[in-house]
């Protein structure tokens, strides 16, 4: 097991038990998990911390029997941030430089040159200004795009116009030609890309979702594209994964589907930070990258 091997090198004075072969649940003090079955964590009466082996924690927060008061942290890995930013920048440039249109022209064997768009006039809006969202914003800004960012609470970023709260969202959307979603999935953000928010974007806008499938209302996106209001979308995450073979996203000419590969974390890169987090908890210090359980991220 990749995670077990990587962590044993960093925590060689710890004993490991691997689910489902756990013989002494009362000995478990830290749980490293990804999408554990509901109710699993309450079986460990002496739990001191939980580490989500990914950037998201919604798979934990949706468990009604999640033990209260137990600190939870998530993976913050520079390599994952870099991969996510690469995907977002590529997808934004692909839409900006009309590559889907040229792909369709190629399939039709048609020579259809178009004037290159004006980068300085193509505003990109980012939903979510955490570590990854800020990195995406900086890289797009460096390419000459005007970049807007939205978050739940106010933030200040150099060169990025920031919006916050419900009022800020509706103020930002009409100014956004390409909308990138990198939000955490919470009850407040579930379904945030819907018929209302899509309609608030300018005609011809594009959507890029590399956060969670639950942020997007699929039927609303399909309707907005069919109406001509939304030009297209690049989607890496879906409400059901793998995406079912019959899903209309697969064959839609204006939608690009990738199989949740915007970033794939490596255990070796994250092991040192997880080990440090566990040792901090044993010293009665907060976990590294600890989430706010009330906010859900």
Phi first, then psi: what are they for 203, rounded to 5°? -60, 135
Residues 213 and 278 in one domain: no
Note the pLDDT of residue 266.
78
User: Contact, 293 vs 61, CB < 8 A?
Assistant: yes
Confidence of residue 61 (pLDDT cuts 50, 70, 90): very high
Helical axes 2-10 vs 267-282, angle rounded to 10°: 50
Q: Is the preceding peptide bond at 251 cis, omega within 30 degrees of 0?
A: no
Tell which residue, 136, 97, 137, has the closest CA to residue 116.
Answer: 97
**What is the tens place of the pLDDT at every residue in 208-235?**
999 999 999 999 999 999 999 999 999 9
Rounded mean pLDDT of 13-19?
91
Residues 138, 209: one domain?
Answer: yes
Is residue 66 one of the residues assigned to a domain?
yes
> What is the spatial distance between Cα 136 and Cα 63, in angstroms, rounded to a whole number?
31
269 domain-assigned: yes
Q: pTM for this structure?
A: 0.92
Structural domains of the chain, count: 2
Cross-strand bridge partners of residue 81: none
In contact, 120 and 130? CB cutoff 8 Å: no
Element (H, E) at 124: strand 124-127
Q: Active-site residue numbers?
A: 212, 260
- Reported confidence tier of residue 1, pLDDT bands at 50, 70, 90: low
Give yes or no: residues 50 and 92 share one domain.
no
Domain that holds residue 20: 2-77+265-282
pLDDT of residue 149: 98
pLDDT in tens, 158-194: 999 999 999 999 999 999 999 999 999 999 999 999 9
Same domain? For 120 and 236 the reply is yes
């Amino acid at each position: 097991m990749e995670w077990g091997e990587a962590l044993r090198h960093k925590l060689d004075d710890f004993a490991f038990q691997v689910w489902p072969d756990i013989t002494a649940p009362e000995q478990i003090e830290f749980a490293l998990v990804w999408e554990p079955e509901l109710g699993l964590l309450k079986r460990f009466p002496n739990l001191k911390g939980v580490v989500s082996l990914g950037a998201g924690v919604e798979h934990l927060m949706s468990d009604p029997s999640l033990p209260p008061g137990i600190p939870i942290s998530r993976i913050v890995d520079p390599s994952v941030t870099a991969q996510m930013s690469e995907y977002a920048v590529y997808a934004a440039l692909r839409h900006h430089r009309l590559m889907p249109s040229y792909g369709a022209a190629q399939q039709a064997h048609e020579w259809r040159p178009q004037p290159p768009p004006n980068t300085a006039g193509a505003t990109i809006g980012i939903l979510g200004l955490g570590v990854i969202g800020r990195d995406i914003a900086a890289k797009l800004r460096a390419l000459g795009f005007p970049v807007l960012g939205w978050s739940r609470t106010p933030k200040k970023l150099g060169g990025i116009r920031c919006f916050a709260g419900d009022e800020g969202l509706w103020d930002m959307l009409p100014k956004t030609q390409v909308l990138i979603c990198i939000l955490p999935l919470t009850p407040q953000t579930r379904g945030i890309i819907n018929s209302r928010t899509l309609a608030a974007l300018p005609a011809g806008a594009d959507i890029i979702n590399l956060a969670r499938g639950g942020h997007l209302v699929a039927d609303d996106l399909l309707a907005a594209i069919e109406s001509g209001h939304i030009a297209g979308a690049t989607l890496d995450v879906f409400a059901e994964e793998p995406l079912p073979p019959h899903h209309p996203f697969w064959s839609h000419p204006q939608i690009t589907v990738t199989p949740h590969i915007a970033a794939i974390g490596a255990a070796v890169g994250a092991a040192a930070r997880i080990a440090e987090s566990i040792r901090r908890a044993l010293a009665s210090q907060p976990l590294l990258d600890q989430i706010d359980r009330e906010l859900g991220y």
